[in-house]
């Protein structure tokens, strides 16, 4: 049996060193950890602002500077949320996964244990949409905009 080359060994060990510690967590555990982190961060933000006003300083702290700092510190979180929300995850759009799965409108009767998302692909979606009743009442609340446009003189 042949021994692995030193470069292969070094590469494989560096791959394990860069793995995220929470990569193996369940979605529930990760969700709980993120909710706890958000609650702590939200709580400590107010404490830091109160401390900034309470601690005597050589130069007074103004509220505009504190507000700017709070916005600056929260910017990475907002950028992350925006990035996650804008990754092309619109309904019926193909996902960058094997099989090109798509999100599909389902009725509650179709949602059951063992539902396989791989069933809904760009090849199967058109036929499934033709026989689907998930959007049967979608436009039930539709109203004409003519009266609103007349009030706005459009």
Question: For the segment 74-120, what is each residue's pLDDT rounded down to a tens digit?
Answer: 888 888 877 777 665 666 777 777 888 888 888 888 888 888 888 88
Q: Which of 12-21, 51-60, 79-88, 89-98 has the lowest mean pLDDT?
A: 12-21
In this prediction, residue 5 has a pLDDT band, given cuts at 50, 70 and 90, of very low
DSSP letter at 118?
Answer: G
Beta-carbon count within 10 A of 125 CB: 19
Alpha-carbon distance of 125 to 131, in angstroms, equals 10
Contacts 24+ apart (CB under 8 A), 55-64: none
pLDDT attached to residue 86: 66
DSSP letter at 62?
Answer: P
- Average pLDDT in the chain: 77
Q: Would the pLDDT of 28 be above 80?
A: yes
pLDDT attached to residue 59: 75
Q: Are 31 and 45 in contact (CB under 8 A)?
A: no
Tokens 């005597």 appear where? Answer: 56
Tokens 């830091």 appear where? Answer: 48
Alpha-carbon distance of 132 to 111, in angstroms, equals 13
pLDDT attached to residue 63: 81
pLDDT attached to residue 80: 81
* pTM, to two decimals: 0.35
In this prediction, residue 12 has a pLDDT band, given cuts at 50, 70 and 90, of very low
Phi, psi torsion values for 107, nearest 5 degrees: -85, 165
In the predicted model, what is the mean pLDDT of residues 111-137? 84
Q: Indicate if the alpha-carbon torsion angle 87, 118, 110, 135 is positive or negative.
A: positive
pLDDT attached to residue 79: 84
Q: Would the pLDDT of 13 be above 80?
A: no
pLDDT attached to residue 7: 43
Alpha-carbon distance of 77 to 54, in angstroms, equals 27
pLDDT attached to residue 11: 43
How is residue 7 written in tokens? Answer: 């470069």
């Amino acid at each position: 049996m042949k021994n692995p080359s030193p470069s292969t060994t070094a590469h494989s060990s560096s791959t394990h060193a860069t793995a995220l510690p929470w990569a193996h967590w369940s979605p529930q555990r990760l969700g709980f950890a993120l909710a706890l982190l958000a609650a702590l961060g939200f709580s400590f933000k107010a404490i830091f602002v109160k401390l900034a006003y309470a601690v005597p300083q050589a130069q007074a702290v103004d509220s505009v500077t504190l507000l700017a700092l709070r916005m600056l510190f929260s910017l990475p979180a907002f950028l992350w949320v925006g990035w996650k929300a804008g990754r092309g995850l619109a309904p019926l759009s193909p996902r960058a996964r094997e099989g090109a799965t798509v999100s599909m409108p389902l009725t509650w009767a179709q949602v059951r244990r063992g539902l396989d998302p791989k069933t809904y692909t760009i090849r199967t979606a058109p036929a499934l949409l033709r026989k689907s009743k998930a959007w049967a009442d979608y436009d039930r609340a539709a109203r004409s905009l003519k009266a609103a446009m007349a009030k706005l003189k459009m």
